[in-house]
Chain A
Amino acid sequence: MFRIDGRRTAAILASIATFAALTACGAKTTDDAAPAAGAAIDTAGDTVKVGLLNSLSGTMAISEVTVRDSLQLAIEEINAAGGVLGKKIQAVSEDGASDWPTFAEKSQKLISEDKVAAVFGCWTSASRKAVKPVFEKNKSLLFYPVQYEGLEQSPYIFYTGATTNQQIVPGLDYLKAQGKTSVYLVGSDYVFPRTANKIIKAYAEANGMKVLGEDYAPLGSTEFSTIVNKVKASGASAVFNTLNGDSNVAFFKEYKSAGLTAEGMPVVSVSIAEEEVKSIGTQYLAGQLTAWNYYQTTEGAANEKFVAAYKKKYGADKPTSDPMEAAYVSVYLWKAMVEKAGSFDVEKVKGAADGITFDAPEGKVTVDGATQHISKTARIGKIGDDGLIKEVWNSGQPIKPDPYLKGYSWAGGLA
């Protein structure tokens, strides 16, 4: 037998935990050897290459694989219809492996070795921030398809997901219109929820809404009894939820067993789409609200076509969600820009971007050349017993993107 010393065991456990944390966010820097000249694009032959950069392994794979799938669907459709400027699109798929330095390395590889015309992908804001300098240095294009915290505008990124004024602000407008006078903020502890909540607090102050509390749980946290107790004790009329990932499961289970209901104190979530509903369970989510720009149930011929094509290719049980739709749209927008420019050249494509429109599954979208974001219709949805999300309100018309919230007087101190 050997003796176990508590201090030593604790030290071993602590070092394992630290090691795991370090490998998760290893601080490798990208090499700076690449030329600063405009990106070379390989347009020889009858194909043009584009890069797909998504996490196909690691913790983000669950979500990002669905985005890769819908990017490939769009590329197939475009190729079947004749390609872009007479050239077939050839997709080069790279795995970002849920690791931000890997995203930067792979994007450099796609640009300098594969000489792609554009890259589509990234999900987390952390991965976007990691690749941003690579695209700016190489003067190459990235299309980013996920809603994010705003306050960014890179000249070499097109943002096809919602910025805050197309998702969070309409969500608050909806609560206000429903007569909710106070909110409680619950979020994961990282950049998106903290930035989002700063915006929410500024909005609340200007609109006579009370923020009764604000709590952050570490990413991956699954113990929510105390937070739910606080939410309950606050007596808020609604909860604004920016939790991400597994935490949502624990939060909603706790929420229901504490006796809180969607009727009494609704929760508006900005990170729960059709795919997430499936893994949390409709038993806990039915009746709760979400804020997005697209649902599988969104009406219109373009969406019917998209949903049918997606299910035909990937299986009838696979739901379509907002980020998937934004990814699908991004390929078509790039195609339209290239055709308007008559060239694959990055500067010419950027120059042609302003005013490009597309009949997207979410409704008509328009590219705003100045911010390189797109106008989108905001939609509030209610989660149904069948796991699908039904729209209960929309903004009526597409909202012009405003990443720095310049058009909102209350947001003055944020940027």
Chain B
Amino acid sequence: MTVVLNQLFTGISIGAVLLLIALGLSLTFGQMGVINMAHGEFIMAGAYTVYVLQQVITGAGWSLLIALPVAFAIAGLMGVLLEFLLIRRLYARPLDTLLVTWGVALILQQVARDVFGAPNVQTRAPEFLTGSVTLFGDLVISSSRLFILALSLVAVAALTVVLKTTSLGRRIRAVVQNRDLAAVSGLATGRVDRLTFFIGSGLAGIAGVALTLIGPIGPTMGTNIIVNAFLVVVVGGIGQLKGTVIVAFVLGILQSMVEYTTTVSVASVIVFVAIVAFLQWRPQGLFTLRTRSLA
């Protein structure tokens, strides 16, 4: 029983990581329809933010907490810059967007390599995040995973509040649901796009901060996670936040449960097969946004 509970929590924590890396993408890709291959490099920028801040601020705990808003701002600004310089010229050409942002991703990787060096860099985790918490019996949960879970839930909650209750959220939803109607109603769709991109990319920065606790920090870390992030958004359904949340946790739990009884490779294969089968059944993803637009 403990094994099942342990794996269940492991699955939830894998899901939390997936959720964090996919959350920003569910805005930029899911809501706006931009295939941004450089999203992984925004995550990398967030991770390097922790590294740079730790050179200045010596307390590992403080530097991590300060890194959260700083990384959000840095990655968000990178996103706005990308949107302003390149993506807004390519809104009608998704395939070109894919290639252009892939190129931007490669450029950003090389910049990281030139600035920080090709080898991975190390960051210090604060003491309170390196241990583990015993819930009951043998059920031991690592505190860094618990932190990431909490962070992802806070991020989802904050994003939901912004989208559902603020005027910015209403504008974002209006533009997503019917761009032309939003434009003739007097919304500056270009500005809304830029803001959406800021938030989506900023969330990637936050994911990067969280990843420093569990994985390597290097120039290629973005490419390792970008495909998983896209998968979560695609399976979750375009334009729907709740689909992303549910799918992230389901895939995480599926992966951890299968992996415990088989091997990593077999588990990955089974998860992929499940995704392919699911998309055959529901090509539009778990949830879809019903609109009256003709697009």
> Which residues of A approach B to under 8 Å, CB–CB?
1-7, 9-10, 12-13, 16-17, 20, 59, 61-62, 189, 215-218, 220-223, 225-227, 229-230, 233, 246, 249-250, 253-254, 256-259, 275, 278-281, 283
How far, in whole Å, are A4 and B36 apart by their CA atoms in the complex?
14
- Flag B242-261 by CB within 8 Å of A: 1 or 0 each: 00000000000001100110
* Shortest Cβ distance from A3 into B: residue: B295
| Residue of A whose beta carbon sits closest to that of B259 | A226
Q: Is the CB of B213 within 8 A of A6?
A: no
**Contact sample, A vs B, 27 pairs, CB 8 Å cutoff:** A1-B295, A4-B234, A6-B237, A6-B279, A6-B285, A9-B234, A13-B227, A215-B264, A218-B265, A225-B13, A225-B14, A225-B256, A226-B267, A227-B264, A229-B6, A246-B215, A253-B125, A256-B130, A257-B129, A257-B132, A257-B142, A259-B131, A259-B132, A275-B119, A279-B119, A283-B125, A283-B130
Complex interface: chain A residues within 8 A of B140 (CB): 258-259
A216 to B293, CA, bound (A): 49
In the bound complex, residues from chain A placing their C-beta under 8 Å from that of B35 are 9
When the two chains form their complex, are residues A6 and B10 in contact, meaning their CB atoms are under 8 A apart? Answer: no
Closest Cβ–Cβ distance, residue B44 to chain A (whole Å): 13
B264 close to A249 (CB less than 8 A): no
User: How long is the Cα–Cα vector from A280 to B217 in the complex, in angstroms?
Assistant: 9
A10 touches B215 (CB 8 A): no
Q: Find out whether the CB atom of A223 lies under 8 angstroms from the CB atom of B14.
A: yes
Main secondary structure of the interface of A (DSSP, over half): helix
A222 to B94, CA, bound (A): 30
> Distance in Å from the Cβ of A26 to the closest Cβ of chain B?
18
A220 to B223 Cα, complex, angstroms: 11
Other A-B contacts than A4-B29, A279-B121, 12 sampled, CB-CB below 8 A, are: A13-B231, A17-B227, A218-B265, A225-B13, A225-B14, A227-B259, A229-B7, A253-B215, A258-B132, A275-B119, A279-B218, A280-B122
Given contacts A10-B275, A226-B256, contact A62 B118 (CB under 8 A): yes
Among A2, A221, A253, A256, which residue has its beta carbon within 8 angstroms of that of B264? Answer: A221
Contact between chains at A257 and B33 (CB < 8 Å): no
Say whether B59 faces chain A, with CB atoms less than 8 Å apart: no
Contact A233 B3 (CB under 8 A): yes
Q: Are B260 and A229 in contact (CB under 8 A)?
A: yes
Q: What residues on A are CB-neighbors of B295 within 8 Å?
A: 1-3
Shortest CB-to-CB span from B227 to chain A, Å, is 6
- Complex CA gap A216/B131 in Å reads 25
Report yes or no: B14 in contact with A249, Cβ–Cβ below 8 A: no
A229–B280 alpha-carbon span in the complex (Å): 34
Q: Is B166 interfacial (CB-CB < 8 Å)?
A: no
Note all chain B residues with C-beta closer than 8 A to A226.
7, 10, 255-256, 259-260, 264, 267
Per the bound structure, the CA–CA distance linking A257 and B234 in Å amounts to 32
A9 with B230: CB separation less than 8 A? yes
Is residue B224 within 8 Å, beta carbon to beta carbon, of the partner chain?
A: yes
Q: How many A-B residue pairs have CB under 8 A?
A: 147
Minimum CB–CB distance for A191 against chain B, Å? 15
Instruction: State in angstroms the CA–CA spacing of A5 and B280 once bound together.
Output: 11
| Closest A residue, CB atoms, query B98 | A12
Measured CB to CB, the nearest residue on chain B to A226 is: B259
Tell me whether A1 and B179 are in contact (CB under 8 A): yes
Q: Evaluate contact between A13 and B230: CB separation under 8 angstroms.
A: yes
For the complex of A and B, the 10 pairs showing the least CB-CB separation, nearest first, are A257-B142, A281-B122, A249-B216, A279-B120, A1-B295, A222-B215, A226-B259, A246-B216, A259-B132, A7-B283
- A-contact 0/1 string along B68-105, CB 8 Å cutoff: 00000000000000000000000010100010001000
Contact residues in A for B223 (Cβ distance below 8 Å): 20
Q: Which residues of A contact B259 (CB under 8 A)?
A: 226-227
**CB <8 Å contact, A218 and B122:** no
Our pick among A1, A259, A279 for the contact of B293 (Cβ within 8 Å) is: A1
Chain A residue contacts of B282, Cβ below 8 A: 6
Known: A1-B179, A1-B293, A9-B230. A218 touches B120 (CB 8 A): no
Point out the residues of chain B lying under 8 angstroms from A3, CB to CB: 295
The verdict on B235 contacting chain A, using a C-beta distance below 8 Å, is yes
Report Cα–Cα, A259/B275, bound state, in Å. 34
Once the chains bind, are A218 and B10 in contact (CB under 8 Å)?
no
In the assembled complex, the Cα of A275 lies from the Cα of B3 at a distance in Å of 37
Contacts of A256 in B (CB 8 A): 130
In whole angstroms, what is the CA distance A285 to B3 when docked?
27
By the criterion CB–CB under 8 Å, are B234 and A10 in contact? yes
Identity of the chain B residue whose Cβ is nearest the Cβ of A285 in the assembled complex: B122
Query: How far is A10 from B131 in the complex, measured between Cα atoms in Å?
Result: 38
The answer for the CA separation of A230 and B7 in the assembled complex, in Å, is 10
Counting chain B CB atoms within 10 Å of each CB, the highest count among A12, A17, A20, A225 belongs to: A225
Counting chain A CB atoms within 10 Å of each CB, the highest count among B132, B213, B259 belongs to: B259
A73 to chain B, nearest CB (A): 20
Chain B positions 4-51 with a Cβ under 8 Å from a chain A Cβ: 6-7, 10, 13-14, 17, 29, 33, 35
